[in-house]
Structure 1
Amino acid sequence: MISYRHHVVSLVAVFLALAIGVALGGGPLSELGRDARATSATTRSEQQQTRRTVGFGEEFATAAAPTLYAGRLKDHPVSILTLPGADGGEVSALAAQVQQAGGTVTGTWKAQRSLVAAGEKSLVDTLGSQLMTQLDDGVVPADSSTYDRIGRLLGLSLAGTRVSADEVSSLRQSLSGADLVTAPESASRAPLVLVVLGRDGVDPAILSGLLTGLAATATGVVVAGDTASGASGDLHALRSEPVADKLTTVDGAESAVGQVTAVLALARSLKVQSGSFGASGSDGAVPLG
């Protein structure tokens, strides 16, 4: 039997698709087949309608969020990892939505530029090689690449699976001391990780390697980016990488609809660790599972 929550989620997807369709109709695509005078006469009206439609979708998503979540993140801690250039307002809004879903944000970790800068690869490789030798054999595979390795070590710091509390503490201190990440002063382990992409741009190979390692050590990883990132930026590139089958991607993080979608994806990642959602997501606007 299809649940009431399933119906509501479907409606959110419909409203999001409607908002996108109207936006395209009032934007560049509206120029096709029109002369300049007709376009000039209708542009303002279409823009106003677009704003009303998008606003309605935002209000609907915000109001429907508690019903959609149904407390599915209750008793599930979540770590947030931000990449360079992440918008602070988006991060705060996503954290608030996690709490609405019953989850707890254990801490927000900030990746520093040195973690993902191509010119700092030697530092990342050296530190990663040193840290893996401090762990039991096999915790980090010996043949891991530079960024896969550091991603696994970062994942162990966040999620803490397969390592002791002392080892987690040591990893956090080392990563922070090398200025690769800024870690919260005190954060419990969290098997779910929400990664918020920034606007600075990261080499696709570096981002893919980092997230491959992170996904190997966490129960579920959701990567959220803004609409532009999903259309032609970091998120778009990530979706064509093999790691996309091991995590969930969501675009539109600057909007209420995208934020709700990201948290629904987090809840879904407890059982399903893949998917592409949002305005340009190949699996639809909103995860229905």
Structure 2
Amino acid sequence: MISYRHHVVSLVAVFLALAVGVVLGGGPLSELGRAATTDSARTRAQAQDTKAAAAFGDDFASAAARTLYGDRLQGHAVSIVSMPGADGDVVSGIAAQVQAAGGSVAGTYEARPALVNASEKSLVDTLGSQLMTQLDDGVVGTDASTYDRIGQLIGLSLSGDKISLDKAASIRQSLAGAQLMTSPAQASRTALVLVVLGHKDTDDAILSGLLSGLATTTTGVVVAGDAASGADGALHGLRAEPVADEVATVDSADSAVGQVTTVLALARSLKVQGGSFGASGSDGAVPLG
């Protein structure tokens, strides 16, 4: 039989449990719980506001793009060179914006890892020397460094205004044969080159040499990277190099705003070279001039 004492002990235990619950629910611990819940809700709200603002910016850029372009690329072709690790969606997104600006894509080329791998410098140097001998004197600088020279040759193979179409095609075939760069089956002459950086950083000296060579043999070069590359990645390092005066750079190309900015930079490069644009750009967010 359960004694009266057992009933009393059980009731006391129940009341103690209730009392502890009341204290916790109305005391300092409850305030901590409510504060944590409030902070969490505030953090979620701030994240949603940031996401909404970014979405608004992208929507605005997409809607206003054609007006901003004003067909400034009408009649102009752009060659796109994607570096190792470049995002395919970014490449196709910018290509679509080029067409929206009245331009066309002359061809999309894919740089292979060997082109920018320091351990393959001997291959790049040997091929560059061989290809240079096939061209007239003075077309490629005899004092050019390994990567400057290969950059000049790539530029000549894309623009073709200083060499015949057959020689331009021969250079592209040689680059493909050495697994340095893929080439489309059909390609047309171009004055503008867009280089889309990949997620993996490339040695600053190698990238600078390639871009310097490209800039020597084409009308305008624009280099696009994602937001991270502009903050502390390859694009950030490139902007500190002398070649930044010869090529335009645009970060945040992984967003609609950045892709529209990239095309505006391409249009600008028909007359003005250089410039740093985007979220981390020193010359402003967007080149409107």
Shorter-chain TM-score: which interval? 0.7 to 0.9
Q: Give 2:13's aligned residue.
A: none
Give the structure 1 partner of residue 54 of structure 2: 54
Match of 2:153 in 1: 153
Give me the identity figure in percent. 68
Report the counterpart of residue 225 of structure 2 in structure 1.
Answer: 225
5+ residue gaps, structure 1, are 1-34
Larger Rg: 2
- Within 5 Å, which residues of 2 pair with 1:172-187? 172-187=172-187
How far is 1:40 from its partner?
3.4
CA distance in 2 between partners of 1:288 and 1:182 (Å)? 33
Q: 1:110: which partner in 2?
A: 110
Root-mean-square deviation (CA, aligned residues, Å) is: 1.2
Offset at residue 58 of structure 1 (A): 0.6
Which residue number corresponds to residue 162 of structure 1?
162
Structure-1-length-normalised TM-score: 0.86
Distance (Å, rounded) in 2 between the aligned partners of 1:53 and 1:130 = 53
1:227 positional shift = 0.1
Which residue in 2 is equivalent to 1:32? none
C-alpha deviation, 1:253, in angstroms? 0.6
Q: Which runs of 5+ in 2 are unaligned?
A: 1-34
- Aligned with 1:182: secondary structure? coil
State the Cα deviation string for residues 111-145 of structure 1 (Å, max 9, x = none). 00000000000000000011111111111011100
Structure-1 separation of matches of 2:112 and 2:262? 23
The one-letter amino acid paired with 1:155 is G
* Rounded Cα–Cα distance in structure 1 between residues aligned with 2:224 and 2:283: 15
CA distance in 2, matches of 1:39, 1:229: 32
Distance 2:189 2:154 in 1: 12
Distance 1:36 1:229, change over 3 A: farther
Instruction: Give the Cα–Cα distance (whole angstroms) in 2 for the partners of residues 145 and 161 of structure 1.
Output: 22
Separation in 2 of the partners of 1:110 and 1:38?
50
Q: Distance in 1 between matches of 2:100 and 2:82?
A: 20
Q: How does 1:45-84 map to 2 (within 5 A)?
A: 45-84=45-84
Matched with 1:44 is: 44
Distance 1:186 1:263 in 2: 23
Q: Name the counterpart of 1:281.
A: 281
Aligned to 1:85: 85
Using CA pairs below 8 Å that are at least 6 residues apart, which structure has the higher relative contact order? 1
How far apart, CA to CA, are the structure 2 residues paired with 1:147 and 1:83? 14
Tell me how far apart the structure 1 counterparts of residues 140 and 181 of structure 2 sit (CA, whole Å): 19
- Tell me the equivalent position of 1:262: 262
Runs of 4+ aligned residues of structure 1 deviating over 6 Å after TM superposition are: 35-38
Paired positions, count: 255
